[in-house]
A and B are shown apart, each in its own frame.
Chain A
């Protein structure tokens, strides 16, 4: 592995680690908020227990999210100084707003976690809502910064220097909206299914009320998200077709520019011969998905010099994984809605709970896959069409070692977090069982 590869891997590992905690930090406060709200309305203590149990988990995730985010804000400069030197002033504005949003989030979370007895009940409930809103806002701000890398705006690029910088235009670039809604929905879907899955397996063991309630709250959010997700993803894809045709061509493995372009499902891309083996091809559907017209022309990779191709197989597989999971989660959501409004007995069935359990990691896998599509699909550019990733690399040799170090640290940390959470859950579960 050379330094360049190591730096890319390190960036990917650090971001992939952070995003899990970030999603949970954005979404769990909403669940807690609903649980507490239900408690205030119904006086059923189960809801209070649930809100408290969740809030402990959130505190752990939040702290790890914050430290891994801090690491990222340094890593951008440690690995890509040539990028940050130009990009910092341009795409920095969302980061400064994110700072504020996070600050508010941290304060509100402090109040929420430690204020159960010190705050008036209404105020306490309200701090939970503030945590949720500011969490989602921080997510949107950061994604807007990332969107700028995909659709650079707000500056003139002359002889390798940025002039006439306009941070507002940069922040509201052409990709921010489509990425922001898709990401926010994804966070709700991923976290919701994960929470529901964990409670489903516990519910399978013992039919405790607390788990049933937990599943309902988590799925109420997740199922709406999962149904919106493909719509939102379709908008994202249309936007990519406009802004970054090479990325679209890469994740669709679309080598040849053509009208009535086929949608390729599955298959193994063969970059050498510019074909996809063993795939299902639906003629015209790619044209329709990308441009809303079965006869539209879709630009293929042949329009780009080969050294500007993103890695095709990785982006293709990742895209397939994301869409596949998206379809499956939508199905679960449909069952849940049908079960809630009509077929109540479904929701007590073993197959349903097992299905939920199977879906526990899926949302997060889709999130990772989606980010790989976005980030790897942008290669070889770090700022699309402006600066190449390899030209912004740190001059320091030996990044391999920092990559190994960071990976080991995060690997250990992941195990500890999982172990810790399962202990928490066990204790809670045992407490409930002994209370009968």
Chain B
């Protein structure tokens, strides 16, 4: 039972990284390209904007219902980076909406854009830092160790920071792929393909940095990685996909680009979970929180699963309909 709920948790996380990632990345991409993509990004994201958001909520709800100790431990030890993420979410969410709905006027639009772009970067970075803190294992349950050790050190370290960078590049890369396949204007296609290729290079480099800093911080990421056949397979597959991605960036093809980009991201997340599994949160001075010891009682898991399955049965067709109406609909019809 608990495994099923965990699986759904992982799927929600995937979808958040993929779909939510593309819209967080949209802001970062705008920042990197000095606003060139703004209208394209907005147009592509707007209708699915709220729906993307919900994956994160689902993750949180599954956590506090099904794995309450993960929820309360993480939110206690990583209170500060999570707070920063939340402030970022408030700012970018509001700025995006305001930009979309406020009456056209240069100055306010400019301000919304700047807030949206920088807070996208900021939020993504601290989301990565938070993930880094969960993986690294510097979280302590001994609250007498002093403020720094308990509330700062678990995330203020090289590994978590490079996780932050990695996520920034990953999200920007996803948005790049999304944008390349969305634009029609030939000149911009080339430009964004170039940017996306650079982001891909950066992604590979920061990926290496993550392993390096893990070693520096004393986390056996590399060793665990080598011992996990699934992770190796995942990374090998992700690497094999690289040349194809390169090819389709040179000759954009909507379906292939999205498929391969999505595939690579899936592989990255799979590789990570394979290493981590069944540990959910690494703890410094006590037993790690694992799938087995964090799960809520059977009955709770059962009802959670029922709610999730029914939810999915209702939601999936509706999401499908939403995408159908907006992605494959007639582009010439305007919205308002």
Contact = CB atoms under 8 A, between A and B. Distances in A.
A394 B300 contact: no
A413 B322 contact: no
30 contacts: A59-B100, A60-B97, A62-B50, A63-B49, A63-B93, A64-B97, A66-B53, A69-B57, A73-B57, A73-B61, A77-B72, A84-B68, A84-B72, A85-B72, A89-B68, A89-B297, A90-B300, A95-B61, A96-B61, A100-B307, A103-B51, A107-B50, A107-B318, A111-B322, A117-B333, A117-B335, A118-B325, A118-B333, A396-B79, A420-B102
Given A67-B90, A424-B103, A85 B47 contact: no
Interface centre among A82, A100, A103, A420 (most CB of B within 10 A): A103
Contacts, number: 211
A39 to B, nearest CB: 16
Contact of B76 (A97, A113, A395): A395
B87 A84 contact: no
A88 to B, nearest CB: 4
Interface of A: 52, 56, 59-60, 62-64, 66-71, 73-78, 81-82, 84-86, 88-90, 92-93, 95-97, 99-100, 102-104, 106-111, 113-119, 165-168, 394-398, 402, 405-406, 409, 413, 416, 420, 423-424, 427
Contacts of A77: 64, 71-72, 74-76
Given A89-B66, A95-B65, A110 B86 contact: no
Nearest to B95: A416
A77 B47 CA distance: 30
A102 B86 contact: no
A73 to B, nearest CB: 5
Interface in B55-97: 56-58, 60-62, 64-66, 68-69, 71-76, 79, 82-83, 86-87, 89-91, 93-94, 96-97
B46 A114 contact: yes
Given A89-B297, A118-B333, A165-B299, A107 B51 contact: yes
A406 B83 CA distance: 9
Interface stretch (B198-206, B223-231, B309-317): B309-317
A402 B83 contact: yes
Nearest to A394: B76
Given A88-B68, A115-B325, A67 B93 contact: yes
Interface string B290-304: 000000110110011
Contacts of A109: 50
A114 B98 contact: no
A89 B276 CA distance: 24
A115 B325 CA distance: 8
Contacts of B333: 117-118
B54 interface: yes
B69 A104 contact: no
Given A70-B86, A78-B75, A166-B299, A116 B335 contact: yes
Contact of A89 (B82, B151, B296, B308): B296
Contacts of A74: 60, 75, 82, 86
Given A60-B101, A67-B53, A110-B322, 19 more contacts: A52-B336, A77-B74, A78-B83, A84-B72, A88-B296, A93-B303, A96-B307, A99-B54, A100-B307, A100-B310, A102-B54, A103-B318, A110-B326, A111-B325, A118-B326, A165-B299, A167-B300, A168-B303, A423-B103
B185 interface: no
Q: Closest 5 interchain pairs by CB?
A: A92-B65, A81-B72, A100-B311, A88-B64, A106-B50
B51 A110 contact: yes
Contacts of A423: 102-103
Contacts of A409: 87, 90-91
Interface centre among A64, A66, A69, A88 (most CB of B within 10 A): A88
B48 interface: yes
Nearest to B315: A103
B212 to A, nearest CB: 31
Interface of B: 46-51, 53-54, 56-58, 60-62, 64-66, 68-69, 71-76, 79, 82-83, 86-87, 89-91, 93-94, 96-98, 100-103, 143, 147, 150-151, 296-297, 299-300, 303-304, 307-308, 310-311, 314-315, 318-319, 321-322, 325-326, 329-330, 333-336
Nearest to B313: A100
Nearest to A94: B307
Nearest to B60: A73
Contacts of B73: 81
A219 B132 CA distance: 52
Given A89-B66, A92-B65, A64 B76 contact: no
A413 B89 CA distance: 13
B297 A165 contact: yes
A76 B56 CA distance: 15
Contact of A81 (B75, B90, B311): B75
A73 B75 CA distance: 11
B61 A99 contact: yes
A93 B50 CA distance: 22
B71 to A, nearest CB: 5
A167 B86 CA distance: 29
Nearest to B68: A88
B336 A96 contact: no
A2 B85 CA distance: 25
Contacts of B72: 77, 81-82, 84-85, 88
Contacts of A84: 64, 68, 71-72
Contacts of A416: 94, 98
A81 B297 CA distance: 18
A89 B280 CA distance: 18
A92 B304 contact: yes
A19 B71 CA distance: 24
Contacts of A90: 300
Contacts of B335: 113-114, 116-117
Nearest to B69: A85
